[in-house]
């Protein structure tokens, strides 16, 4: 049986935009709200104690880990879905899975990838042709960025638009993690989100421009904090 990626379902425009908003929504049932990606450990270690420090931390995480890693994978996976280059997609998925520096970070990308794949199964339940790609994705034990790339491809959006949606969804989740773990109010959260929104376009352009050899998954302080978080006595989040 041949495997054909999901064809773009909608022309670019209002419907595609709404589909991307859906994917970026914190209400999407993939568990993103349960992770802080090391932020909770940074707060516990008193590295992040104020609104300014939280804002700086998340901006650096956007540029140093998201843009150079997961966002670059999405940027490269979307054209691979369009050309049905499954070997390329499998290689990108393997790169994500093998470059996670701690067990909890790997469990996060695996769990969110599985949950998004299940969501895609339900989303395209009445469309057998699309189920072929989704079944292949499930067999790969897809990481979250690779599963997101297929979901975004199905909207007909460009890689740039998909990355903007992905980055904003990530920013919303992380700001909510900061609000829950720190004595920050909603207004402070909105100020942090506004700053992240201003930084996202540059992060997207950087991710789009990265070749294979320039992708990175090297953030030693984040890895140390994540490893410490795995044994943290009291915690709200799974990472």
Q: What's the token pair of residue 50?
A: 């104020």
Assessment of whether the complete model's pTM goes beyond 0.95: no
**Per-residue b or e along 215-232, where b marks 16 or more CB atoms closer than 10 Å to that residue's CB:** bebebeebbebbbebeee
Cβ atoms of 229 and 40 within 8 Å: the answer is yes
What is the Cα–Cα distance from 65 to 180, expressed in whole angstroms? 22
pLDDT at residue 5, as a whole number: 52
pLDDT tens, residue order, the chain (239 aa): 444 454 444 445 788 888 899 999 988 999 999 999 999 999 999 999 999 999 999 999 999 999 999 999 999 999 999 999 999 999 999 999 999 999 999 999 999 999 999 999 998 887 887 888 899 989 999 999 999 999 999 998 999 999 999 999 999 999 999 999 999 999 999 999 999 999 999 999 999 999 988 999 889 999 999 999 998 888 888 78
CB-CB contact of 192 with 56 (8 Å): no
Task: Judge: domain 37-225, CATH 1.10.238.10.
Answer: no
Return all residues near 233 (Cβ < 8 A) that are at least 6 apart: none
CB atoms within 10 A of CB 60: 14
- Quick one: pLDDT at residue 36? 95
């Amino acid at each position: 049986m041949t495997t054909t990626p999901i064809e773009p379902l909608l022309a670019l425009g209002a419907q595609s935009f709404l589909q991307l908003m859906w994917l970026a929504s914190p209400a999407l049932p993939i568990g993103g709200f349960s992770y802080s990606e090391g932020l909770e450990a940074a707060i516990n270690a008193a590295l992040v104690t104020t609104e300014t420090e939280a804002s700086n931390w998340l901006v650096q995480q956007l540029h140093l880990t998201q843009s150079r890693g997961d966002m670059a994978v999405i940027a490269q996976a979307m054209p691979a879905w369009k050309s049905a280059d499954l070997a390329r997609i499998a290689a990108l998925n393997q790169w994500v899975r093998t470059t996670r520096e701690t067990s909890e970070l790997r469990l996060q990308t695996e769990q969110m990838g599985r949950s998004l794949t299940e969501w895609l199964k339900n989303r395209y339940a009445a469309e057998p042709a699309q189920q072929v790609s989704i079944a292949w994705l499930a067999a790969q034990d897809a990481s979250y960025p690779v599963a997101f790339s297929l979901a975004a491809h199905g909207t007909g959006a460009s890689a740039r638009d998909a990355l903007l949606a992905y980055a904003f969804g990530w920013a919303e989740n992380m700001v909510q993690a900061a609000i829950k773990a720190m004595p920050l109010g909603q207004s402070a959260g909105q100020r942090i989100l506004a700053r992240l929104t201003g930084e996202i376009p540059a992060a997207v352009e950087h991710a789009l421009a990265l070749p294979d050899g320039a992708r990175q998954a090297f953030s030693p302080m984040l890895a140390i904090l994540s490893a410490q978080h795995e044994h943290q006595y009291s915690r709200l989040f799974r990472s």
